[in-house]
Chains A and B, each alone.
Chain A
Amino acid sequence: MDGEVRTYLGVPLYRPKVAFFEFTSCEGCQLQILNNEVNLLDFFSLIEVVNFREVMTERSDDYEIAFVEGSITTDNEIKRLKRIRRQAKMLIAFGSCACFGGVNQLKNRFRDLDYVKREVYGEHPVESKKVRAIDEIVDVDLRIYGCPVRKEEVEKIVLHIALGKSLTVPKYPVCVECKANENICLFDLGEPCLGPITRAGCNAWCPTNRAGCWGCRGPAEDVNMEEMLRIMKGHGFSEETIMDRLECFGGFSPVKIPEESIR
């Protein structure tokens, strides 16, 4: 697979050197790459993987694109991340842990992190700081959202990079994709859903499976939070149910939730 020049629709492809790194995560986003059985081999011919600890022993520091999965919780992780930033021409925050902190950042709702540690480890010393997204430490060139990321989307993005084309991520909400899929709206089935305010691109993954959206891809552009809260409350969902979803993956934390509408 090395050496030969690949083409796509007659256009010679640039085959970038790619490295995968993971920080605090479930490694599910990396797994999505390997789950790509149909075109796994084609996918790996588009890029030259030089670092993918989960599947290979060889390691190389000569890479151009770094896929970074996971959130940041220790000093050592900060050091490693900065080193990656220095090497990579393009650093991609890969998945919701990397983009927003993911489920890991739920720990941050406890003000006293010592309490959190004591609960699990007693007096045994363990390092764990506030959970941070990648872009709280270094600059990020591209974000691939999702918990997990959607493999079709990753493929499309990688192909675009190989072709040197620019990319656009949907700005509209999940509801748009959900309606295109002709689903029954979950609100009509008595289930809560964050589809109206969550960034599309997952092809309404959860609602299409009749499960409400928890907002893993973060906010769509110009979200109308007040309207969202009105819909949720109108359908009889408690503040707690709304908060559980809004805070689950960390994508909504920069979005200001109007105080009065929650009360």
Chain B
Amino acid sequence: MRKTLNVNVKHLTRVEGHGNIRIKIRNGRLIEARWEVVETPRFFEVILKGKKWDNAPWITGRICGICSTGHTLASIRAVENAFGIVPDENTKRFRLLLKHMETLQSHTLHLCFLVLPDFMNAGSVFPLINSHRDVVIRAARIKKLANDLCDLIGGRSIHPPRLVVGGFTKLPDRRELQPFLQQLEQIEEDLMVFVELFRGFEIPDFVRETEFVSLKGEGEYPFIGGDLISSDGVHMKEQDYKKMTNEYVVEHSTSKWCRLSRESFAVGALARLNNNFEFLHPVAKDIARSFGLIPVTHNPFMNNIAQLVECVHVVRDSIRLLNEILDSEWKEQRQKVEPRSGVGVGAVEVPRGILYHCYEFDDKGRIVMADCVIPTGQNHANIQHDLEALAEEYATRGKCDSEIEVLASMLVRAYDPCISCSVH
């Protein structure tokens, strides 16, 4: 069909930050499809220059409200790697548990508050409060559990003050932690309601082959530190992250773009799952399979399902971690920090994909150079290429303006972009 279409979405809603979608099709031919990032930059890398090491996690956590714990952890890891600090077992457990709860709360926010309205023909979660009260209450319950545990371990779910280089300023005691074991065990019931709900949705059948980049699991599904891999077979060390991201500046965007083996690559839940399927908890694995989500899945809309699968995985893994913690003895853990000159990299899988922080210090522990590479920044080029392919394909299939607008918006939303974070 010879179609002429115009899609113009200014400041796409239900995403974090500001971005525009523009699609132009004339007589069935794609003239232009654009994903524009119009967020205003904040220049964190420059802000850090000359600052002492202890400023880094405190300030860079403020890059993003949703994944502030992830930023704080990546920053801490970069500082610790530069100063030769190795966290002890209990610190690692508490950090991972905190990380899991951030993943759970962020994925739940995205799936239930931002994505769900699309599948239920609503403009927001607000009308669903009346029409699907049970679902909204369950979502709120999952988020509350995740936030409560973040509050308890990090001291606050946004910009956690307890989380510092060398460990924690304070840790919860047994009495505070114990009740969460039962709560975690019970929350799966709420999650399963969402699994069944999403099973009833029609996920758009759009496929475009791409490369997936993530941390490489070593015996377990990866979240904090380790080697880097891609589904095209690239394998690198954490400190060589620059060869993995290859950032470059583009016109019409205040966020930098990235590439590896192809013109673009993707990071996020789908990338993690594609690259580390074997390390998922068996229950999570079965759910993934039941959605036909097996490596390598190239449908970007399946990132939503990958997030759902990860929710189940992190809850199961948190139960394991909490049991391990409760079986051990812990006291306040904070190692002494002795600054030295050098470079440190911290790679962490945050909800939206792999995040890198890198700092160079002088011998007083002052920051000489800082670099942060954000997941959404790595996804922008991939979103752009997807958008082109999607517009072309659906125009050929005879979809109209409004249908393409909805699908294009859903596509971008599926990446769960954190735009203000990508322009930091």
Instruction: List chain A positions with a Cβ less than 8 A from chain B.
Output: 1, 23-32, 34-35, 37-38, 40-41, 44, 49, 52-59, 73-74, 77, 102-104, 106-107, 110, 115-117, 119-122, 124, 126-128, 147-148, 205-206, 208-211, 214, 240-241, 244, 248
Chain A residues, CB < 8 A from B143: 34-35, 37
Chain B residues, CB < 8 A from A30: 65
Name the distance in Å between A12's Cβ and chain B's nearest Cβ: 21
- Taking A44-B129, A102-B62, A103-B47 as known contacts, 11 extra A-B pairs with beta carbons closer than 8 A to each other, sorted by chain A number, are A1-B130, A35-B147, A37-B144, A41-B129, A52-B124, A53-B13, A53-B14, A54-B14, A117-B43, A119-B45, A120-B45
Q: A244 touches which one: B45, B51, B117, B249 (CB < 8 A)?
A: B51
Q: Flag B263-306 by CB within 8 Å of A: 1 or 0 each.
A: 00000000000000000000000000000000000000000000
Chain B residues, CB < 8 A from A106: 47, 59
Whether B59 contacts A28 by the Cβ 8 Å rule is no
Whether B144 contacts A38 by the Cβ 8 Å rule is yes
A-B contacts, 12 listed (Cβ < 8 Å) = A32-B158, A49-B126, A54-B15, A55-B124, A56-B14, A74-B40, A77-B40, A117-B43, A120-B45, A148-B159, A205-B156, A241-B52
| CA gap between A122 and B249 in the complex, in Å | 9
Chain A residues, CB < 8 A from B125: 55-56
Q: Which stretch from B80-88, B161-169, B207-215, B382-390 is at the chain A interface?
A: B161-169
**B170 in the interface, Cβ–Cβ < 8 Å?**
yes
Chain A residues, CB < 8 A from B49: 119
Q: Which residues in chain B, 109-137, are within 8 Å of chain A measured between CB atoms?
A: 109, 113-114, 117, 123-126, 129-130, 136-137
Whether B254 contacts A126 by the Cβ 8 Å rule is yes
| CA gap between A77 and B11 in the complex, in Å | 13
Whether B40 contacts A107 by the Cβ 8 Å rule is no
Q: A110 touches which one: B46, B59, B159 (CB < 8 A)?
A: B46
Chain A residues, CB < 8 A from B158: 28, 31-32, 35, 148
Given contacts A57-B124, A103-B47, contact A27 B16 (CB under 8 A): yes
| CA gap between A113 and B17 in the complex, in Å | 23
Whether B68 contacts A103 by the Cβ 8 Å rule is no
Q: Which residues in chain B, 157-181, are within 8 Å of chain A measured between CB atoms?
A: 157-159, 161-162, 164, 169-170
| CA gap between A241 and B164 in the complex, in Å | 16
**B206 in the interface, Cβ–Cβ < 8 Å?**
no
Chain B residues, CB < 8 A from A1: 126, 129-130
Chain A residues, CB < 8 A from B54: 244
Whether B113 contacts A55 by the Cβ 8 Å rule is yes
| CA gap between A102 and B258 in the complex, in Å | 29
Whether B14 contacts A55 by the Cβ 8 Å rule is yes
Instruction: List chain B positions with a Cβ less than 8 A from chain A.
Output: 11, 13-17, 40-43, 45-47, 49, 51-52, 54-55, 58-59, 62-66, 68, 109, 113-114, 117, 123-126, 129-130, 136-137, 140-141, 143-144, 147, 155-159, 161-162, 164, 169-170, 249, 254, 420-421
Whether B126 contacts A44 by the Cβ 8 Å rule is yes
Whether B11 contacts A53 by the Cβ 8 Å rule is yes
Whether B43 contacts A240 by the Cβ 8 Å rule is no
- Nearest B residue to A48, CB-CB: B126
| CA gap between A133 and B294 in the complex, in Å | 49
Name the distance in Å between B405's Cβ and chain A's nearest Cβ: 11
- Nearest B residue to A216, CB-CB: B159
- Nearest B residue to A202, CB-CB: B156
Name the distance in Å between B99's Cβ and chain A's nearest Cβ: 17
Chain B residues, CB < 8 A from A27: 16-17, 64-66, 420
Chain A residues, CB < 8 A from B130: 1
Q: B159 touches which one: A28, A41, A73, A128 (CB < 8 A)?
A: A28
- Nearest A residue to B169, CB-CB: A210
Given contacts A57-B14, A103-B59, A121-B249, contact A206 B161 (CB under 8 A): yes
Chain B residues, CB < 8 A from A32: 158
Q: A209 touches which one: B17, B51, B169 (CB < 8 A)?
A: B169
Name the distance in Å between A35's Cβ and chain B's nearest Cβ: 5
| CA gap between A214 and B15 in the complex, in Å | 30
Name the distance in Å between B18's Cβ and chain A's nearest Cβ: 8
Given contacts A28-B68, A248-B59, contact A37 B147 (CB under 8 A): yes
Chain B residues, CB < 8 A from A206: 155, 161
| CA gap between A38 and B129 in the complex, in Å | 14
Q: B162 touches which one: A54, A59, A211, A248 (CB < 8 A)?
A: A211
- Nearest A residue to B15, CB-CB: A54
Shortest 4 CB-CB distances between A and B: which pairs?
A28-B65, A56-B124, A209-B155, A37-B144
| CA gap between A208 and B161 in the complex, in Å | 10
Whether B420 contacts A26 by the Cβ 8 Å rule is yes
Chain B residues, CB < 8 A from A26: 62-65, 68, 420-421
